Amino acid sequence: MLELHDPVVSLMRQVGCDVVMPRYRNLAADEVSEKAADDFVTIADKESELRLAEGLAAILPEAGIIGEEACAADPAILDRAGEGLNWIIDPIDGTGNFASGNPPFGIMIALSDGGTTLAGWILDPLTGRLCHAMLGGGSHIDGEKVRARESGQALPIAALAVYFMTGEERADIQARAKDRFTLVDIPRCAAEQYPRLVLGQNDVSVFARTLPWDHAAGTLFLNEAGGCCQRLDGSAYRVGDTRRGLLGASSPRLWDQAADILIRQG
């Protein structure tokens, strides 16, 4: 697995430099469209995915490719996400931010086998920050091993991604969280949210939609750093599992505390 790291990072940085950043704040109106309500795609997403898919196929030809934009064009591709060895690609995470000319956004790559995430990489093309993790090998930021840390605030800091919830679900979780957490805005970018949970900037985050390109790399990164990211019932996140709902926290203690407040109470 270690032998994959340098080629994957080199590819991500090259695509960020050649494809993503030249389009940042430089998109024509006809180069941005909506795949669904509040779900954007740009020409940079499509070009980035093509370059990443080509490069990853060369690095590990025996692995399949599960890309966000390919799945948007052919949803049947996602059906095999939990089967066998697969590269999982988010060519630009936080496309809405990218399209509006604002940070954060990132490139996310994961390698999974039979639903288990083996490795994950998260690149911020603006700052160059690279987060990566390998199963059983810990988590790293810019080559330095990191451990997740709590913010230390009296009321844990929570960023709740409620925009893909139903109105009833949104009202329920916001009522539960009131006066129990310090609520902060979400970055609308999993490539930024997961590092925030490791770096002590946020303590808790809830995600409704759990597509593999958004969460395979991030859940591994948080868990390998000593944090905790699990399904709402406490089971592990697995690629190919189509259920909704994830709870992430900067420590197992905070995960249990958040679950008691946000999920388990009647």
**Nearest to 79, CA basis, from 219, 220, 241, 231:** 241
| 172 appears as a binding residue in the annotation | no
User: Is 168 annotated as contributing to ligand binding?
Assistant: no
- Give how far the C-alpha of residue 180 lies from the chain's centroid of Cα atoms, to the nearest Å: 25
Query: Half-sphere exposure of 138 toward its Cβ, with a 13 Å CA cutoff?
Result: 8
Distance CA 102, CA 122 (A): 18
The answer for residues whose C-beta is within 8 angstroms of residue 58's C-beta and 6 or more apart is none
> Please, what is the angle between helix 43-59 and helix 2-15, to 10°?
150
In angstroms, the CA 266 to CA 260 distance is 10
d(CA 40, CA 241): 24
Angle, vertex CA 134, rays to CA 129 and CA 140, nearest 5: 30
Residue 122 assigned to a binding site: no
* Gap between the Cα atoms of 141 and 113, Å rounded: 24
**Is 68 labelled as part of a ligand binding site?**
yes
Rounded Cα–Cα distance for residues 138 and 177 (Å): 31
Comparing C-alpha atoms, which of 183, 194, 185 is closest to residue 262?
183
Is 79 marked within a binding site?
A: no
Residues tagged in the binding site annotation for Mg(2+) = 68, 90, 92-93, 214
Residue ranges of the annotated binding site are 68, 90, 92-93, 214
